[in-house]
């Protein structure tokens, strides 16, 4: 689907439509891009409601609990935002390579290695003042993640090894290496029953964002999404990447360095994922330990696909999923439902949103040509998507 | 437009209507009732660690003036802080039991400082005087149970080799391995124990492979320290080996091959904490105990336990019931030949040194 | 009674482990081979595997018949396969992404519905003692071969033959290599892929039944540790050849047994790294056998993975 989008933009370019039509087309595309996923998400919730009703549980109560647990109060919002923060980074690790046509599912490995690198770097950096050392810790994380996922891109571009598979394998390998180091050479001997690296120290810990009570990973994550959006949609480099993702041969004929683009964008994705690990260490845990592999990398895949690989859309989608996960506890406690309830809901949402991919361009309501021409004639009975 | 997309539109329209029904509503609660929250790291019916806590929670549910709330599979990340806060803010919980070891630092400590009126009791023995007074620890000396397991195992073993499937070489696991072998050696000094670490708290296939590898190596009695011993118990009994349980009673899984098991008994601890709360006092900060205190118990003996074994184990158990029992006592060397304790010295059950065990005693095959 | 076999015991454990652990990999990779040969990729087999494990165990508990469990697992696997096939036949829907969604959905549903089956014990699938000739208990144990393993081995042979020599095999291959050619020949591409994905799902479901009813032979939420995903990787280095899938599954299973076996003979340092051996091995083989000019030998032309 990425490919076709890029191609259609390419083929549309030479036609040079009038400015008014361009604006209308933009509007139509945007409203379609919002209405269809929203409608699909609502459908997913509805299907889940049917599933719940079949179990003898009230879907209305569940909806209420999702609202209360994830969105309905300052506490609930904080809870959702905290959970969204690592997902922003993890999703970028999927979305950036996806624009080049690569499905990377091994972001978890980059998160773990990033966290470990940050914690390990904190020890030699202890001589520096915090404002200098903390960015350097982040750089160590960025580097680890970039190398790890960049390797996935390199293997794809220069060895023809499928990125989905190699990223998965590399993620298992990364977690094994990290656990080995955390419980072996890098272990803090005083971490008894919870093996961890030496603590990075209170001075190197990031506080919460003012007024939000959520750590700085959230703010940086939103900025990272904006940066990724600008890079992808507003720069030549991003255009070249999308072109390479659309049609490799055409891109090669144009003289684009497809291999280097793939390595560069996968490395960037890995660097972003590693930041999730960095914040886990520098803003939450204070050490690197086994809980770095908390599954953010996998939820990030879900976020990226639900956001249709659009870096801006990642922000609301991560927030939505953070909210659903935040309400999980309340659902367990109030409805006596198992924790897997949220998994079923997420799976259904994901399926329906993916299936809705097929609806793009099918509704005349969103067709720019309809808006441009024949405004005087009686409107054809256009199907309307209400959501 | 096809007929198919038409019907899809109808679905979408209906879904929009439903979302309006989601409106927040208040929640009334009986005044004066005490709400306690249990937080588990895994599924609460895992035939293991989490189930041991959940069984106690279930037993509490009938108590008058008490509301029990539970949440399972809460990871050891800042998600657990939010779970604690949510139980406090939305459910009115005033006593929390985050039961997984990794919840303590920094999560429980942060929340304890933030909510000075709420009581937090953590399973694991980490609380010290420096920590907030509204926090605390409780733990059981389950190594005593593994020592008794070892005695019964030694009587049942023909090959004089016994096996242990461990998750990670951390002090709690190492204490159990040492106790299992020392119990066995108290019966038969030549006995050895092979240990295999799976590296994870719950990893079914690896646990089964480890059990098989132990039995292939000649071990004929197996026990374990993983979160969910179901796989180890079933695999061992299918291979014809005897098995000693851990965490909860697993005898229904292997009625013929299950010898006995070291079980947690959290209920008395929880009842004491709750009684203190209901009496308007702060519960104790630091509670630990073994068989003598009733915090640890043994599964009933299975059919494979001989009369001699039974008498032997019961005699030692009676000794333990007096309190202050020392499993680790000199002269004792580790399995690299280094001396742990000289003759005449001992680490009795309350010894702080047991919290930082980093050795395997002589006779254990494996390394830390 | 048990003599110390020394390092031989490691080899024996690897062989035994290969037989014990490989079956889920084998069934899932055979299922995925069928699906991918038709030109689609289903990454959701992990979810189907987990659901298969749950439904097989639950059925076996309720009916006391492990074979009924296998049948239900196959049926539910086929249903999930149909779901994948149906969603993916909609234009512009990405099959890799739907697979990931299915992985989540299948495991979530299995965990949700599987809660009541964690406690009870189910009757296991029978095993055949092929090691009766040996006096060594280790050999006898290693060659305690489950019926499903033999069925899987036989199936890989049958599939290998069928892809070459039957009309159905040919149709699947044509559809997978060129949808246009298949349409020109009058075949309904979508329908073939739908059936191929359903068959693949059914086999993955059977793989799940092996997990819960044979080895490790119990149902809990950690019963699968990514076997379904790994099997998809195995298909690629098995080059979509069912016989090679059998070899790859054995290799992967054997490599997985290496870690515990090495500890049992005293190699007790760095086991996390040994535990990663299967992944390192798979990756190394993939790198060694892939070629930079993208045309993977034996890859179905329509596969999004190889495009």
Which DSSP state fits A314? Answer: H
**Nearest chain C CA: its distance from B351 CA (Å):** 29
Chain C residues touching A344 at Cβ < 8 A = 105, 108-109, 112
**And the tokens for A126?**
């202890």
User: Is the residue at A359 inside a domain?
Assistant: no
In sequence order, what are the residues at sequence separation of 6 or more whose Cβ sits closer than 8 angstroms to the Cβ of residue A211?
none
The CA-based dihedral angle spanning residues B359, B363, B367, C5, taken in that order and rounded to the nearest 10 degrees: 180
Which residues of A fall within a CB distance of 8 Å from C280?
A: 169, 173
Kindly report each contact of residues A251-255 with a partner whose C-beta sits within 8 Å and lies 24 or more positions away, as own/partner. none
Does B327 contact C at CB distance below 8 Å? Answer: no
Chain C residues near residue A339 by CB distance under 8 angstroms? 111
In sequence order, what are the beta bridge partners of B346?
B329
pLDDT at B343: 93
- Distance (Å, whole) CA A376 – CA A378: 6
Q: Say which residues have a Cβ less than 8 Å from residue B343's Cβ, sequence separation at least 6.
A: B330, B331
Helices (DSSP H) in chain C: which residue ranges?
7-37, 45-63, 66-88, 95-114, 137-142, 147-165, 167-177, 179-184, 189-213, 227-237, 242-264, 271-275, 277-289
Name which of A5, A251, A350, A359 to mutate to probe chain C: the one with the most chain C Cβ atoms within 10 A of its Cβ.
A350
Q: What is the DSSP letter of C146?
A: E
Q: Is A305 on the interface with C (CB under 8 A)?
A: yes
Selected residues 160-199 of chain A with any CB under 8 Å from a CB in chain B: 179, 183, 192-195
C6 contacts chain A (CB < 8 A)? no
Shortest Cα distance, chain A CAs vs residue B14, angstroms: 8
Residues of B in contact with C8 (CB under 8 A): none
Contacts of A357 in chain C (CB under 8 A): 90, 92-94
CB contact under 8 A, A184 and C270: yes
Domain-embedded: residue A81? no
CB contact B111 to C (< 8 Å)? no
| 3-state secondary structure (DSSP) of residue A387 | coil
Q: Where are the alpha helices (DSSP H) in A213-257?
A: 217-234, 236-246, 248-253
Look up the domain containing A114 and give its range. 88-314
Domain count, chain A: 1
- Domain assignment present for residue A357? The answer is no
**Per-residue pLDDT reduced to its tens digit, A7-65:** 444 444 445 667 777 788 888 888 888 888 889 989 999 999 999 999 899 999 999 99
For the range A364-372, what are the long-range contacts, defined as Cβ-Cβ under 8 Å and sequence gap of 24 or more? A366/A28, A366/A29, A366/A31, A366/A32, A366/A35, A367/A28, A368/A21, A368/A24, A368/A25, A368/A27, A368/A28, A368/A29, A371/A24, A371/A27, A371/A28, A372/A20, A372/A21, A372/A24
Kindly report, residue by residue over B227-254, the tens digit of the pLDDT: 999 999 999 999 999 999 999 999 999 9
Tell whether omega for the bond before B106 is within 30 degrees of 0, i.e. cis: yes
Residue A325 lies in a domain: no
DSSP helix/strand/coil, A31: helix
Å from C211 to nearest chain B CA? 9
Tell me, what's the pLDDT at B256? 95
Number of Cβ pairs < 8 A linking chain B and chain C: 123
CB A291 within 8 A of CB B45: no
Angle CA A286–A292–A297, to nearest 5: 135
Contact flag B72-A339 (C-beta cutoff 8 Å): yes
Cα nearest neighbour of A356 on chain B: B8
User: Is A53 within the bounds of a domain?
Assistant: no
Residues 60-99 of chain A with CB under 8 A from chain C are none
* Cα gap B120→C220, rounded to integer Å: 30
SS3 category, A162: coil
Do strands B95-98 and B66-71 pair parallel, antiparallel, or not at all (unpaired)?
unpaired
Strands in B122-123's sheet, in edge-to-edge order, are: B122-123, B137-140, B286-289
Q: Parallel, antiparallel, or unpaired: how do β-strands B161-166 and B137-140 relate?
A: unpaired
Q: Are B101 and A194 in contact (CB < 8 Å)?
A: yes
C265 touches chain A (CB under 8 A): no
Q: Rounded to a whole number, what is the distance in Å from the CA of A61 to chain B's nearest CA?
A: 8
Best residue of A44, A192, A330 to probe chain B, by most B CBs closer than 10 Å = A192
Select the residue of B5, B102, B172 nearest A362 (Cβ to Cβ): B5
Residue of B nearest to C260 (CA): B210
**Per-residue model confidence as pLDDT tens for chain A (387 residues):** 444 444 444 444 445 667 777 788 888 888 888 888 889 989 999 999 999 999 899 999 999 999 999 999 999 999 999 999 999 999 999 999 999 999 999 999 999 999 999 999 999 999 999 999 999 999 999 999 999 999 999 999 999 898 999 999 999 999 999 999 999 999 998 888 889 999 999 999 998 988 888 999 999 999 999 999 999 999 999 999 998 888 877 888 888 899 999 999 999 999 999 999 999 999 999 999 999 999 999 999 999 998 989 999 999 999 999 999 999 999 999 998 998 999 999 999 999 999 998 888 887 777 766 555 544 444 444 443 333
Contact list, C261 vs chain B (CB under 8 Å): 209, 213, 216
Q: Is C101's Cβ below 8 Å from some Cβ in A?
A: yes
Asked whether residue A360 is assigned to any structural domain, the reply reads no
Task: Confirm whether A119 is domain-assigned.
Answer: yes
pTM exceeds cut of 0.80 = yes
Q: Tell me which chains share at least 3 CB pairs under 8 Å with chain C.
A: A, B
pLDDT one digit per residue (tens) for chain B, 368 residues: 333 333 433 433 333 333 333 333 334 344 468 999 999 999 888 899 999 999 999 999 988 899 999 999 999 999 999 999 999 998 999 999 999 999 998 999 999 999 999 999 999 888 999 999 999 999 999 999 999 999 999 999 999 999 999 999 999 999 999 999 999 999 999 999 999 999 999 999 999 999 999 998 899 999 999 999 999 999 999 999 999 999 999 999 999 999 999 999 999 999 999 999 999 888 999 998 999 999 999 999 999 999 999 999 999 999 999 988 999 998 999 999 999 999 999 999 888 888 889 999 999 999 88
A52: helix, strand or coil = helix
Q: Which of B169, B288, B283, B184 is nearest to B225 (CA)?
A: B169
Q: What angle do CA A72, A74, A75 make, to 5 degrees?
A: 95
Neighbours of chain A (3+ CB pairs under 8 A): B, C
Would the CB atoms of A164 and C111 count as touching at under 8 Å?
Answer: no
β-pairing, B221-225 vs B122-123, is unpaired
Q: Which long-range contacts (CB under 8 A, 24 or more apart) does B5-14 make?
A: B5/A359, B5/A362, B5/A383, B6/A383, B8/A359, B9/A383, B9/A384, B9/A385, B11/A43, B11/A46, B12/A39, B12/A42, B12/A43, B12/A385, B12/A386, B12/A387, B13/A386, B14/A46
* Cα dihedral C293, C296, C301, C305 sign: negative
Residues in chain A closer than 8 A to C232 (CB atoms):
165
Interface check for A160 against chain C (CB to CB < 8 A): the answer is yes
Instruction: Report which secondary-structure segment, H or E, holds C128.
Output: strand C127-129
Name which of C131, C73, C124 is nearest B234 in CA terms. Answer: C124
Q: Name the stretches of chain C with pLDDT < 70.
A: 1-6, 293-297, 304-307
Residue of C nearest to A184 (CA): C270
Nearest CA in chain B to A387: B16
Check B210 against C272: CB less than 8 A apart: no
Contact across the interface for B77 and A291, Cβ inside 8 Å: yes
Are residues A351 and C94, on separate chains, in Cβ contact within 8 Å? Answer: no
Residue A11 lies in a domain: no
ipTM of this predicted structure: 0.91
How far apart are alpha carbons A385 and B253 in whole angstroms? 55
From the CB of residue B278, how many other CB atoms can be counted at a distance below 10 Å? 16
d(CA C307, CA C299): 10
Instruction: Return the HEC string of chain B.
Output: CCHHHHHHHHHHHHHHHHHCCCCCCCCCCCCCCEEEEEECCCCCCCCCHHHHHHHHHHHHCCCCCEEEEEECCCCCCCHHHHHHHHHHHHHCCCEEEECCHHHHHHHHHHHHHHCCCCEECEECCCCCCCCCCCCCEEEECCHHHHHHHHHHHHHHCCCCEEEEEECCCCHHHHHHHHHHHHHHHCCCCCCEEEEEECCCCCCHHHHHHHHHHHHHCCCCEEEEECCCCHHHHHHHHHCCCEEEEEECCCHHHCCCCEEEEEEECCHHHHHHHHHHHHCCCCCCCEEEECHHHCCEEECCCCCCCCHHHHHHHHHHHHHHCCCCCEEEECCEEECCCCEEECCCCEEECCCHHHHHCCCCECCEECCC
């Amino acid at each position: 689907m990425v490919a076709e989008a890029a191609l259609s933009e390419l083929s549309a370019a030479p036609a040079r439509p009038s400015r008014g039509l361009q604006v209308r087309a933009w509007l139509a595309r945007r409203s379609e891009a919002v209405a269809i996923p929203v409608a699909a998400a609502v459908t997913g919730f509805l299907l889940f409601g049917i599933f719940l009703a079949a179990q003898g549980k009230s879907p209305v109560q569940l909806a209420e609990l999702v609202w209360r647990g994830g969105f309905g109060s300052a506490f609930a919002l904080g809870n959702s935002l905290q959970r969204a923060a690592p997902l922003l980074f993890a999703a970028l690790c999927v979305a950036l390579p996806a624009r080049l046509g690569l499905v990377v599912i091994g972001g978890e490995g980059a998160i773990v290695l990033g966290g470990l690198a940050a914690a390990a770097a904190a020890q030699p950096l202890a001589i520096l003042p915090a404002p200098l050392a903390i960015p350097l810790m982040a750089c160590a994380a960025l580097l680890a993640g970039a190398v790890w996922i960049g390797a996935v891109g390199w293997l794809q571009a220069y060895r023809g090894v499928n990125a989905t598979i190699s990223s998965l394998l590399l993620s298992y390998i990364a977690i094994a290496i990290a656990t080995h180091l955390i419980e072996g050479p890098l272990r803090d001997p005083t971490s008894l029953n919870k093996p961890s690296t030496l603590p990075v120290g209170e001075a190197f810990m990031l506080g919460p964002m003012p007024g939000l009570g959520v750590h700085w990973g959230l703010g940086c994550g939103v900025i990272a999404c904006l940066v990724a959006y600008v890079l992808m949609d507003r720069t030549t480099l991003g255009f070249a990447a999308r072109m390479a993702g659309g049609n490799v041969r055409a891109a090669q004929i144009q003289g684009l360095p497809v291999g280097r683009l793939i390595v560069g964008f996968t490395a960037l994705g890995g660097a972003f994922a590693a930041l999730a690990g960095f914040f886990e260490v520098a803003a939450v845990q204070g050490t690197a330990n086994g809980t770095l592999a908390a599954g953010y990398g996998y939820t990030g895949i879900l976020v990226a696909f639900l956001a249709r690989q659009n870096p801006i859309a990642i922000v609301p989608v991560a927030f939505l999923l953070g909210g659903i996960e935040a309400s999980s506890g309340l659902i367990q406690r109030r409805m006596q439902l198992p924790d897997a309830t949220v998994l079923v809901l997420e799976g259904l949402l994901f399926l329906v949103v993916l299936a809705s991919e097929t609806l793009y361009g099918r509704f005349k309501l969103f067709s720019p040509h309809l808006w441009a021409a024949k405004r005087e004639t009686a409107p054809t009975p256009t199907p309307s998507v209400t959501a | 437009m096809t007929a198919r997309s038409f019907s899809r539109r109808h679905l979408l329209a209906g879904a929009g209507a439903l979302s309006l029904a989601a409106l927040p509503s208040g929640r009334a609660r009986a005044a004066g009732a005490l709400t306690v929250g249990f937080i588990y790291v895994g599924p609460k019916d895992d035939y293991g660690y989490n189930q041991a806590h959940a069984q106690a929670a279930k037993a509490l549910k009938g108590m008058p003036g008490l509301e029990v709330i539970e949440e399972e599979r809460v990871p050891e990340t800042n998600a657990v802080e939010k779970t604690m806060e949510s139980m406090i803010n939305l459910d009115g919980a005033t006593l929390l039991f985050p039961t997984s070891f990794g919840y303590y630092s920094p999560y429980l400590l942060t929340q304890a400082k933030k909510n000075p009126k709420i009581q937090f009791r953590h399973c694991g023995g980490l609380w010290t005087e420096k920590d907030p007074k509204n926090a605390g620890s409780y733990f059981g000396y389950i190594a005593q149970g593994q020592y008794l397991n070892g005695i019964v195992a030694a009587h049942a073993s023909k090959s004089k080799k016994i096996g242990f499937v461990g998750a990670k070489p951390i002090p709690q696991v190492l204490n159990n391995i040492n106790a299992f072998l020392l119990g066995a050696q108290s019966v038969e000094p030549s006995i050895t124990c092979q240990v295999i670490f799976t590296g994870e708290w719950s990893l079914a296939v690896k646990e089964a492979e480890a059990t098989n590898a132990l039995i292939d190596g000649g071990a004929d009695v197996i026990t374990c320290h993983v979160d969910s011993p179901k796989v180890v118990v079933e695999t061992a009994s299918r291979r014809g080996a005897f098995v000693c349980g851990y965490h909860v009673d697993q005898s229904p899984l292997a009625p013929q091959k299950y010898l006995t098991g070291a079980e947690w008994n959290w209920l008395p601890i929880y009842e004491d904490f709750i009684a203190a709360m209901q009496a308007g006092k702060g519960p104790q900060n630091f509670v630990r105990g073994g068989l003598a205190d009733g915090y640890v118990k043994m599964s009933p003996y299975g059919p494979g336990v001989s009369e001699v074994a039974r008498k032997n184990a019961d005699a030692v158990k009676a000794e333990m019931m007096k309190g202050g029992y020392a499993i680790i006592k000199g002269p004792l060397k580790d399995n690299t030949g280094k001396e742990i304790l000289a003759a005449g010295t001992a680490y009795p059950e309350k010894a702080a040194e047991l919290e930082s065990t980093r050795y395997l005693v002589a006779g254990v095959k494996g390394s830390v | 009674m048990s003599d110390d076999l020394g390092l031989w015991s490691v080899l024996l454990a690897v062989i035994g482990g290969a037989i014990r652990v490989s079956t889920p990999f084998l069934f899932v990779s055979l299922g995925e081979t069928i699906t991918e040969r038709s030109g689609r990729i289903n990454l959701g087999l992990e979810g189907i595997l987990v659901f298969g494990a749950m439904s097989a165990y639950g059925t076996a508990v309720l009916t006391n018949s492990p074979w009924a469990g296998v049948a239900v697992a196959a049926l539910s696997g086929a249903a999930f396969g149909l779901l994948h096939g149906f969603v993916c036949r909609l234009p512009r829907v990405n099959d890799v992404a739907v697979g990931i969604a299915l992985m989540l959905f299948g495991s979530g549903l299995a965990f949700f519905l599987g809660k009541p089956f964690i406690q009870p014990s189910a009757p296991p699938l029978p095993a055949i003692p092929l090691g009766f000739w040996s006096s060594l208990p280790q050999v006898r144990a290693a060659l305690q071969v489950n019926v499903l393993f033999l069925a899987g081995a036989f199936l890989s042979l049958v599939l290998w033959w069928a892809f070459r020599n039957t009309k159905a095999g040919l149709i699947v291959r044509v559809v997978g290599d060129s949808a246009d050619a298949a349409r020109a020949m009058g075949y309904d591409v979508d329908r073939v892929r739908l059936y191929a994905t359903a068959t693949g799902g059914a086999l993955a479901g059977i793989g799940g039944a092996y997990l819960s009813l044979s080895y490790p032979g119990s149902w809990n939420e950690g019963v699968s540790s990514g076997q379904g995903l790994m099997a998809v990787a195995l298909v690629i280095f098995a080059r979509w050849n069912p016989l090679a899938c059998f070899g790859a599954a054995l290799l992967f299973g054997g490599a997985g047994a290496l870690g515990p076996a090495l500890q049992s003979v005293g190699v007790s340092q760095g086991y996390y790294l040994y535990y990663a051996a299967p992944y390192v091995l798979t990756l190394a083989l993939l790198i060694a056998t892939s070629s930079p000019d993208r045309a993977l030998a034996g890859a179905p032309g329509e596969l999004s993975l190889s495009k």
